[in-house]
Structures are given as structure tokens and as C-alpha cells.
Amino acid sequence: MSTTILTGDRPTGPLHLGHYVGSLRQRVALQQTHNQFVLIADLQGLTDNGSNPQKIRDNIPEVLADYLAAGIDPNLTTLCLQSALPALAELTMLYMNIVTVARVERNPTVKNEIAQKGFARSLPVGFMAYPISQAADITAFKAECVPVGDDQLPMIEQTNEIVHKMNSLLPAPVLRHCKAMLSDTSRLPGIDGSAKMSKSLGNTLHLSASEETIHRAVSAMYTDPNHLKVNDPGQIEGNVVFTYLDAFHPDKDKVAAMKAHYQAGGLGDRVCKNELETCLQELIAPMRERRAMYMQDKGELMAMLKRGTERAQGVTQETLREVKVGLGVPVF
């Protein structure tokens, strides 16, 4: 049997090229060889949008359209909705009793996010508990691999702690330890040169970006601020255009040659940007078109999600049943 993978997104906005490089591209490849579940984590999306539920609701079809546009095939990948899988909430409730408040507060990922989001005293209980909910997601699917960025490694560690502790309470182990599958591509920077492409920084390129938006984004892209004349030697490090060429250009040799030329001097930013723009236009155009087509029938998108969720119901309910039986919780 092929290895089970769980991955997913919080439906807080349409996906962008950062997602494409960091996860979507990988999922399209993995669905050929793995038993892949992709979870639309709407409950997790609500942990810091509890008072703004329409944002989550509205973005579910957006994210689904992004998935399909990027090449995720609902016949190869099980697409499912977190809130429609009660076993995930039920496992969370059970796990919450074997994790201390001190332990979740010590989770570095959560600590950073709490600081970033400026929660202070207004931290919702659901946000504090989300590592436990995520452990419920991963274990409910008996996922062996979880594709994550390196900032998410503490979440995998915490999940495996819960697996260990819960299994020790059962007559025989039920839950499976999971491994992080680190993306081989480093994080895509924002078009402005920020470390991360992020909606809140306004430095993204969406899969729905128009020709004109792509053109403007590439034109405004951060290069080497000291590369003033074409003949000056230019710097590659921190030069977003080259980072993007690395990430997206299909011809690696050509990019290597361009880099050498740029470093030696004589290759202008405009030429590099044109090369990148062509490449991005070619990448995004078919995704944009497919995406627009899918978005014309949100009802069919949701029906597809419902079908995947029904498939996911079986595996998650079975895990819950096994945990309950092991704990002695009555199963009716």
C-alpha cells in the first residue's frame, strides 16, 4: 500500500505562487505515487477568524479552484473539509486531556504566531489549542508523511508526542507516528524581496493574476539595488528575479548562464525580468483560465468537496472508533 500523506490549507484567501512552489507543485507530483489527502482546514481558519466566519466560507471555493487549476486531480487526491469530519473534533477533545497548557504554550511555532498576530490577552482558546487539532487531523488519517516548512517542525514533534502518549494508554498502538516531508524548494520570497510571500504583506502573485498584474509585479520586482548600469557586475544573492528564475524557469542551464553573465556584468535587469515574465505568463495563463472556469460553478466545486469528504469520513471514523475502543469509551 502506498504511503499516506496529509496536507492542506486554511481557506483564508486564494493561493499564490508561494503556495505553488511550496506545496501545490509537490502535491501534483505526489498524488501519482501516494495516498494523498488534502484537507481544507476551515475550522483551523476560524481559530483566528472566529468573528469573521464569512471570510473562511468565501475562500473555500477559491482554494478548491486553485487546487484544480494547479493540477490536483480529485480522482487521485482526496479533497476534504475539516469541519465536515466530526471525528477530527472528537479526537481533538480526547487529545486535549493528555496535553498540558504549559506544553502548547511552549510550542515555538505557536509562540511565534501569537507574537506575529499580536494576540496578547485576546488569544482565543481555539488558537492556543490548534496544534492539538492538527495532531487530530494527521493521526485521524494515519498519515505517515506530512509536507511542511521547517517552521512547522515543532508541530510534527508535538503530534508525535501525542501519538506516543495516547498509544501508551491503549492496549495496543492505534496511532501512527508521522514524519515531516520538508519541501526541497526553499520558501519563495515576496515580489518585494520580503522573506515570505504573504497576503498580509501585499507582495503576492495569485494563480488568478492577470497578464497585466504579472507584468507590473515583475517590473516592480526587487533586484540588486547596486546594479545601476547594465555593464556593472550584479549580485544574485537576494535578487528576487533570480530566485524566481530558479524556482520557475524550466531551463536550468539557461538560468545558470544568465547568472554568470549578470555577475560578470553586461546583463541588464530588464532582460532578466523579460525572461522571468515570459516564464510566469506561460505558467499562470493556463491556471488562470482553468481557475476562472471552475469558479463559474461553485456548486460543482462544493459537490466535489462533498464527495471527497465522504471518502475521508470512513478512514477518520475508523481511527476514532479504534481510539475509543482502546480507551474504553463506549461506541454505540
Q: At what angle do helices 298-327 and 269-295 cross, to 10 degrees?
A: 80
Q: Which is nearer to a copy of itself, 50 or 265 (CB)?
A: 50
Grid cell of 42 as nine digits: 476551515
Report if residue 134 touches a copy of itself, rule: CB under 8 A.
no
Say whether 304 sits in a helix, a strand or coil.
helix
Ramachandran bin of 34, using left for φ above 0, alpha for ψ from -120 to 50, beta for the remaining angles: beta
Q: Which is nearer to a copy of itself, 187 or 321 (CB)?
A: 321
Among 69, 99, 181, 258, binds a copy of itself (CB under 8 A): 99
Cα separation, 10 vs 150, in Å, equals 18
Task: Select the span of 127-135, 140-148, 220-228, 236-244 touching a copy of itself (CB under 8 A).
Answer: 127-135
Report if residue 125 touches a copy of itself, rule: CB under 8 A.
yes
Going from the C-alpha of 60 to that of each of 45, 66, 68, 134, 186, the distances in angstroms are 10, 10, 13, 18, 27
**Distance, C-alpha 157 to centroid of its chain:** 18
Report if residue 314 touches a copy of itself, rule: CB under 8 A.
no
Cα separation, 263 vs 277, in Å, equals 20
Q: Which is nearer to a copy of itself, 254 or 306 (CB)?
A: 306
Report if residue 90 touches a copy of itself, rule: CB under 8 A.
yes
Task: Select the span of 23-31, 126-134, 172-180, 222-230 touching a copy of itself (CB under 8 A).
Answer: 126-134
Per-residue x/- mask for a copy of itself, residues 272 to 311, rule CB under 8 A?
------------------------------x--xx--xx-
Among 30, 46, 70, 155, binds a copy of itself (CB under 8 A): 46
Q: Minimum distance between the CB of residue 35 and a copy of itself, rounded to whole angstroms?
A: 22
Q: Which is nearer to a copy of itself, 103 or 196 (CB)?
A: 103
Cα separation, 24 vs 229, in Å, equals 38
CB atoms within 10 A of CB 45: 25
Q: Which residues pair with 147 in a beta bridge?
A: 181
Q: Where are the beta strands (DSSP E) in 12-92?
A: 35-40, 77-81
Report if residue 208 touches a copy of itself, rule: CB under 8 A.
no
* Binding residues vs a copy of itself (CB under 8 A): 42-43, 46-51, 53-54, 56-58, 60, 81, 83-84, 86-87, 89-90, 92-94, 96-102, 104, 121-129, 132-133, 169, 302, 305-306, 309-310, 324, 327-332
